[in-house]
Structure 1
Amino acid sequence: MQWSESTLQRLETGNAEKIRWRDVRELCQLYDVSREMTAALVGLAQQAHVKSWWHEFGELIPENFSVYVGLESSARTLTAYQPDLVPGLLQTVDYARILASIASPTDSAAELAGRAQIKVRRQSIVTRSRTPATLEVVVHEAAIRRVVGNPQVMAAQLRHMADASTMPNVTIRVLPFAAGTPLGASISPFVILAFGESSNGKPVEPTVVYLENLLGDLYLEKPVAVDRYYHAHQALQAKALNEVATREAFRKIAREYENER
């Protein structure tokens, strides 16, 4: 690579001011990285110096390369709000498969099953026995009242969430319709990903806020933006049901769905 020792040291210790995409491309060739992964890593390097960057899938970053999944798998704490759907880390296989069939109606049954299984496998970061991540989520009542699939699927989904809420590293709270608009405005789904601290008390990686929409994914890293979303989550929590009441609500509504059979 024709680097000086100081350049190599800065890169290996994470102290380089900028990662040159040409270097990334050359390294990928040396390590015989696939064309798809090379395109993804080069795209990341091109945007790495820009805080709060958009990923326009299909342009710089290949569509099937998920930056978020990589961040999620490394996170120690996930703080989330979901107004419309059950969060992915809490979805059952049936719920996930139905959503996949709606989003990708031309996929085969095997492809849809694969999509659902991938989502369920992601949940291991919360369910694993050693150092599981902490999940703290507020779910709007609309998400559990909106029927995905049929009442049977919803009943199973809500019972699954009730069971998950008993885990020591999982906190789920429902924001009821009666709570109104705690922030004075609507707010889209978000996830705050924190990566823990090193032995000297400093963050291992900057905390990131993840926002998703139809055009691409937005990652916010500026402390002022991260703090604003933390404050928003606290405001939502303050108006949400407590953990016990949330668990009771899941089981009550699950019984309502079962009675619709």
Structure 2
Amino acid sequence: MDADRRSNAAREGWLIAGRDILHWVREPWGLVFGLAFNIMLILMFAFLFGGAIDLPGGGDYISFLLPGMFALTMLFGLESTMTAMAEDAKRGITDRFRSLPISSASVALGRAIADLLSSALSLAVLMLGGLLIGWRPTTGPAEIALGVVLLLWLRFALLWLGVYLGLRFRGAGATTAVQVLVWPIGFVSTVFVSAETMPGWLGTVAAWNPVSATAAATRELFGNPTGTTTGWLAENAVLGASLWPLVITAIFLPLAAGAYRRLRR
């Protein structure tokens, strides 16, 4: 019976994900503008500021920047998840789903599937763009595949934070509040510069940022300059990129489930 319920929840989740994907096909501008913004950041830092940035341990700045931007894109996806969940809840769509004889996990699962597919597509486009401007992974297919998995693993964890925020905060200022949360986390990291070039306390904060862990791990797995020569992150980047999303998921998946159950009570 439990296996049957899980199978039904998976099928229902795919159906709900299909609804979200159809919505993006009909109104693709959110995805397009999001990608354009990330490409603009890459070009700006790579060609406008890149010549002034030195990396500890040496190496090409574009090769350092691109894996960091891939990780930052996974973080920026938090806003789209939160906004979509908040809109569905505010317009009563989530309540309609709750009134149907479907698993309570199906709605969140559908959002997770759709957003992961969207993030995988965005990541593929950014990687192709990186190749066009000179970024090159220098390791084998297994290492590159693991790097992509770690990027999507971070996105999966942040999905539950986005679902929770979207269900809990649906006011007009909710999106702005998420932007205030996301931007400091994204920039106080090793996405654009090495933590070793920052003041001591700030470098420590940046080094322990979950985005930094994923950025460092993907740089290592892609064979790109890591910008780290000492410290825990330099020696345990893949471990950190594996554990941080696990911690985030363990915290926010139950919170998101609880927020969904409490809707309209």
Q: Compute the TM-score of the two structures, normalised by the length of structure 2.
A: 0.28
Choose between structure 1 and 2 for higher RCO, CA contacts under 8 A separated by at least 6 residues. Answer: 2
Q: Which structure carries more helix by proportion?
A: 2
Q: Compute the TM-score of the two structures, normalised by the length of structure 1.
A: 0.28
Q: Which structure carries more strand by proportion?
A: 1
